[in-house]
Amino acid sequence: QVQLVESGGGLVQAGGSLRLSCAASGRTFSNYSTAWFRQAPGKEREFVAAISKRSSIYYADSVKGRFTISRDNAKNTVYLQMNSLKPEDTAVYYCAADPTQISTAMEYWGKGTLVTVSS
């Protein structure tokens, strides 16, 4: 069992930055791929960024060049640095972890943290 707790969300103006954190507990964090997803009101949950257990990194095209995912296995924490934020980045951001896949079917999920970008 893995427990995930996100933090760092909030209200920011367009062009600003936020750093989200996802703290994990329960199992050896380095054995899991981790990812960030987001869900805007009235929309489906969508992939944002991921870092595999072998440290390969993936980004959605919509955030490439603006967001950076990183992981500190010693702290069991994954981060999402978000720069040049846009109003369309407004969403609840979820952290997820899974031993074998990166997808919306990942096994473990946090409860999410709200990011609101004002224009």
- Average of per-residue pLDDT across 12-37: 92
Exposed (0-12), middle (13-18) or buried (19+): which is 25, by Cβ within 10 Å? exposed
Q: What is the DSSP string of 2-69?
A: -EEEEE--EEEETT--EEEEEEEESS-GGGSEEEEEEE-TTS--EEEEEE-TT--EEE-TTTTTTEEE
User: Does residue 28 carry a pLDDT above 80?
Assistant: no
**Alpha carbons 83 and 14: distance in angstroms, whole number:** 10
pLDDT in tens, 31-50: 899 999 999 999 999 999 99
pLDDT in tens, 93-103: 999 999 999 99
